[in-house]
Structure 1
Amino acid sequence: MLYTHLGRSGLTVSKLCLGTMNFGPHTEEADAHAIMDQAHEAGLNFFDTANAYGGTEHRGWTEEIIGRWFARGGGRRERTVLATKVYGTMSDWPNDSKLSALNIRRALDASLKRLQTDHIDLYQFHHVDRDTPWDEIWQAVDVAVQQGKILYAGSSNFAGWHLAAAQEAAARRPVTGLVSEQSLYNLMQRSVEREVIPAAQHYGLGLLPWSPLHGGLLGGVLAQENDGVRRTEGRAASALAESRDEIQANESFARELGHAPGDVALAWLLHQPAVTAPIIGPRTSGQLEAGLRALEVSLDAEALARLDEIFPGPRTAPEDYAW
């Protein structure tokens, strides 16, 4: 396993992060426990979840599954860098969502109870809250840090200027602020290269890309359809229709390299200097094994240039749209 620091922090995490969103709704608890054990056996120490994961009928389900896994002992909690999130609506009552000081306090305590742990290593804001001032958010985080309930704070789905606002408010207190940003980032969706990644790099935030295979479209979807293994529907079908030529070119190039398309897509992210760890969300042990293969894929400058030709990304702002 390869390891790196999370942003500018001293925290050491694996170069892949285990995403757990499928645990509960799509992956049975016993299978989820087996996947987490398998991740530890491979040296993967960084797990990501959220308080709202589990589906609308059972929010918190995923954290509960992880908590019962921790309760089995054997150093499971001690060997895990645990990341969860706050923001999502947990009930119909007011103040049970977003980033008010009240909700941060209540949501954190509820996550700790479900996860059966006394602290969260990385507590992430799942979305920007445009109605709550940063001084209020950082005050709530300060209290939680002083109580030993969280160690680091991170963000998710922030724009570049949101990162700047958060960090400048933190600097005024002064506190550490954010150490990571979790964003949608893959070969097909590279919008964050315009402003989010430059902001993250400026402030020393590690980037945690989610949906690294863009909902499976970068995982060999055309070959799977031809083999009758998979049928693409809904938004994925629309995206496939719009980008079929690029996806075909990508799958052909992966075959030239001698790798599976999904391995190449993950490896591309691992070669991006701003990226700390792509988040892989396996439903099965086999999917976890496939994700781990990407760590063995080395892409030279020529291969990276070819991928840029197939899926060209934007330039940084303002040069992307102005001189």
Structure 2
Amino acid sequence: MRRIFPLLIIAILFMYQLQVLSQGIEATISPNSVSTKPGDREKFSLTVFNRGSSDIEVNGIRLRITSRELFGVPVAVYLGEYAFPFDKPELVKAGKQKVIERTIEIPLIPFAGSFDVEVVVETTGGNASTKMRVNLLYSWLSIAFLLITLLIAIGIIYVILKLSLRRVRRGKIYRISDLLGERDRYHKLLKELEGRKGKIGEKEYGELKEEYSSNIRRIQSELESMLPGLQDDLAKLEREIEDINGELRKLRARVEVKEVKRGEVEAEIRKMEKLLEGKRKRADEIRDLIRRIKGL
């Protein structure tokens, strides 16, 4: 404990000294606003003021980049920190200033837009910082990133729409199945009513028969309004089934003539057969609904 305490005091004094020294260090950069592209090389003049009482050495700079605008859209995003160490430290004497010329390669940032850049100057006496503005013009990198982003967004939208459409189609089939079940129930009730014609009053018989018949006509009318859509869905599925069958026949023919080995296309054949099976099941389901709607 006696040994640790003096070391702690020395560390605190050392940190305090660094803080005092860093408070006497200032930096400016020129130009403080540039328009450029990722990968281009730009020349900058870094002026370091040492207002402290000890000489310091400048070891490098770090760029902390935050966006102001990306592809024309105002958005603030911290993009990271890029270090540029100097090959040889630059000496700045106490009470003096020094202009340091450096050529920096602009980081490969895949965006176009406006950016705030904090330039952190690293010295043996502590750090100093200054700010600059960078406008990144469109480059092959930013255009490629934008296109990839758009393609991903379109893909996500397509998947969402496809899933939504599938749910809508399944919802329509469920609705038709419910209507058919309801129609069958009224037919059954009507048959039961006919079987008990003599056991209930004539008036009640007439009212119930009209109610059941009216519900059957209403349901049948709604079912028939859905029939053209079902027939269109069936025709589309049949075309898709025929196309997949054609592709399968072609693949199998290529295997037969030894253009390709079966092992090379077996996974693709299985995938197509699974897809074909699913479409055939959906087609059979729709055919059954159409037959039931028509009362066949």
* TM-score, structure 1 as length reference: 0.17
* TM-score, structure 2 as length reference: 0.18
- Identify the structure with the greater helix proportion: 2
Q: Which of the pair has more CA radius of gyration?
A: 2
Flag the structure with more relative contact order, 1 or 2, with Cα contacts below 8 A and sequence separation at least 6: 1
